Amino acid sequence: MRLFTILTLLTLIVPGLLGQTRDQLYNAYIDQFHSIATAQQRSHGIPASIILAQGLLESGAGRSRLATEGNNHFGIKCHDWQGKKIYHDDDEANECFRKYNHARESFEDHSFFLTTRSRYRSLFLLPSTDYKSWAHGLKAAGYATDPGYAAKLIDIIERYQLYRFDHYQPENVPIQPDEIPMAGGHPIFKSNGVKMIVARSGDSFASLAAATGIREDRLRYYNDAPEHATLRPGSIVYLAKKKKKGARAYPVHVVQAGESLYGISQNYGIQLISLYKLNGLSFEQGASIGQVLKLR
């Protein structure tokens, strides 16, 4: 009985301690780097919340090998880099990453990287307070291969209230709006090869239908949204019919806490009915945590 009691207490206490440790690490990182992030927002128009969330996620709150040995907080690979290098296993073994003398240089190079790559240009049409659209836009533009990348950034921003740093107005925004595909004032991204936009505060299927010229019933059909469904800021809205299967790079998905089949279908650009059929599920069934779903 005593052993059972001890084990029970450990089960209750240890997760709390681990969570507290994570919060302490994250808050220490935020305290250390938030002024650098806000300076980058003023100079380049990238939300400070996004900069901090990416730094936290990519570097493990500054504890990854790339961060501790290479001062690389954003996982930026060498590409055309002429400076110092550090090698690390990532998608492939022994890949080349940029190495910096100080962490500040990593933050500055991250801003330079985003502002000088054409694939990220449409992000700079977004308000610097719209962290949800920025998160989805970064994923759609290929910053990370993880399909859950946007959701992870948003979760970090909201858990640690990083949006409180997003009140600075950018001094200059490196953008040429005429070159960016738009739909109803929203930059167009692609997910699984299908055009999509990210809903903002005040958007509805009706307002987006009027703005894009796509009938409301078609928009709802493209997004598997019934008549009563509403949009929230950060919702993915497809402008064309989703695919019947996912991209080759993502054959399966392991269900995480809080995920729904609908949300998974939207994240991967797959028709909801196809997701049910691929996995032999009835419409009454939901997704279970840890369940491996076929995406193609």
Q: How confident is the model over 266-280, as pLDDT tens digits?
A: 888 999 999 999 998
- Give me the phi and psi of 31, to 5 degrees please: -60, -35
In this prediction, residue 2 has a pLDDT band, given cuts at 50, 70 and 90, of: very low
pLDDT digits (tens, 9 = 90+) for 249-260: 678 888 877 788
d(CA 69, CA 25): 18
In this prediction, residue 187 has a pLDDT band, given cuts at 50, 70 and 90, of: confident
**Long-range pairs, 289-294, Cβ under 8 A, ≥24:** 289/255, 289/256, 289/257, 290/254, 290/255, 291/254, 291/255, 292/252, 292/253, 292/254, 292/255, 293/252, 293/253, 293/254, 293/255, 293/261, 293/264, 294/251, 294/252
In this prediction, residue 13 has a pLDDT band, given cuts at 50, 70 and 90, of: very low
In this prediction, residue 110 has a pLDDT band, given cuts at 50, 70 and 90, of: very high
Identity at 269, one-letter amino acid code: G
In this prediction, residue 68 has a pLDDT band, given cuts at 50, 70 and 90, of: very high
Q: List where CATH 3.10.350.10 sits in the chain.
A: 181-241, 252-294
Fold for 181-241, please state it: Membrane-bound Lytic Murein Transglycosylase D; Chain A (3.10.350)
Fold for 29-171, please state it: Lysozyme (1.10.530)
Greater model confidence, 15 or 52: 52
pLDDT number for residue 174: 46
pTM above 0.85, yes or no: no
d(CA 252, CA 83): 38
Greater model confidence, 64 or 141: 64
d(CA 190, CA 212): 16
Mean pLDDT over 220-241 rounds to: 90
State the architecture of 252-294 in CATH terms: Roll (3.10)
Greater model confidence, 170 or 231: 231
Return the structure tokens found at 79.
Answer: 């590409």
pLDDT number for residue 58: 93
Q: Which of 97-101, 235-239, 251-255 has the lowest mean pLDDT?
A: 251-255
pLDDT number for residue 193: 84
pLDDT number for residue 4: 41
pLDDT number for residue 123: 86
pLDDT number for residue 7: 43
